[in-house]
Chain A
Amino acid sequence: MPCQQHKEALIEAAANGAELQGDLRAHLAGCTDCRATFEEERSLFASIDAGLHVAANAEVPASLLPRVRTRLEQGAAPRRIGATSWLVLASAAVLFVVFLAARALWRPNAVRQPVEMSAKVPPPEHVTAPSEKQAAESPLGKDDVSNHQLVISKHHAALVAAKTTPDVLVLDDQEILLAEYAEQWSLHKHPLLLAQQFDATILSPLQVEPIQIDELGVKPLAEEKLQ
């Protein structure tokens, strides 16, 4: 075992390959263990250097350069960013901008569409589902549920129909009749009643009779007790 106080200095000296000097040299002259350790370390670093030399200076295969030249001949031309490349890049950039613009325009339409549709489609006649209790109490509970589903499906069908322009097939002699009917229907069509446009004067005030309350007879408690 080497002396602990000299161990690090011995390893460093062996790694550097330098000659020992001063106190360390004097110590090694008298300490067999430290001298042996120093020799081992020098041998170890010499082996490492020899191994590295072998690993780093391998013989280059004779086929390397001919293979590279062959590949170069096959057309591994240097890449130049020429006018064509710039055109391709510019086209790609323009396409990207167009795509972004199209996406930006598409989104508001998608939001507006249901509002417009809701104005066109008449509200369903009955949309509230009966509670489970009501359905159980009524002998026709199941029918009510099925009716409710029917109403919803009608409403859904109306929504779907409103999305597309309806095509009506009629006989030749009925075209005029249909046109007249459509005109009259559009004349009778009322605009939506909005809260802001509501005129309160068109409604007559509500007539409510005053409540009849009989007069109360109040007697003092003391008199009641005396009686």
Chain B
Amino acid sequence: MQELVLDQPGRTVGEELEHGAAQAETRREFEERLVECGPLAYRVARGVLRNTADAEDVAQEALLRAYRQFDRLRDRTRFRAWLVRIAFRLALDRLRSGKRRELRDTLWSQPEYHPPAANAEDIAASNEFQAHLDNALAELPGKLRLVLLLAAMKGHTIDEIAGMLGLSTGTVKSRIFYARRKLAEKLRCHANNIKRR
């Protein structure tokens, strides 16, 4: 009696199982990093875009892109830096497209994003200053802006930023210093005007 053997095109059953296990392992490993680095991707995107909805879209896209190419990342300890770069680049692309500029401007002026102030005048002044800061920040070169945003985030030391971006600590410090000086030059007159009122 002849035994019938079913030939499966493509992978064999063993290879299929192996592939499934590898994918599950990748997914588990990625899940850990998603919880740890997801907020970072969002904050980087929001620092550039200044809009919650756009930033969430970009962060999601950055995380999915990182997952799709996760196997190519040999040194998994570099995931954080890698994700920051992806999120930053995608956010800049989204910003340049300018499709949602009006909506972004509207949402940016919402008081929920600003620290509580003592009275209505302070809130108004704070909002106005924040809007000017926002514009000045947008005019900064990308490399200065990213370093400044990462430095302003909670829990990021200069050494961590340097490691994340592959720069020396000296370069990070000088970029932060130079970026703050640039912002001060742009905001000096606005700050004086707000104070005089």
Contact = CB atoms under 8 A, between A and B. Distances in A.
B90 interface: no
Contact of A78 (B52, B69, B113, B187): B69
A71 B60 contact: yes
Contacts, number: 116
A67 B34 CA distance: 12
Nearest to A73: B27
A43 B178 CA distance: 18
B149 A55 contact: yes
B26 A68 contact: no
Interface string A42-58: 01110111111111111
Contacts of B114: 54
Contact of B68 (A16, A54, A67, A76): A76
B70 interface: yes
A63 to B, nearest CB: 7
Interface stretch (B74-82, B95-103, B127-135, B164-172): B127-135
Tell me the dominant secondary structure on chain A's binding face: helix
A40 B192 contact: yes
Contacts of B154: 57
Tell me the dominant secondary structure on chain B's binding face: helix
A179 interface: no
B133 A57 contact: no
A112 interface: no
Contacts of A72: 27, 30, 64, 67
Contact of B56 (A11, A51, A61): A61
A54 B191 contact: no
Interface of B: 10, 23, 26-27, 30, 34-35, 38-39, 42-43, 46-47, 50, 52, 55-56, 59-60, 63-64, 67-71, 113-115, 129-130, 133-134, 137, 148-150, 152-154, 177, 180-181, 183-184, 187-188, 191-192
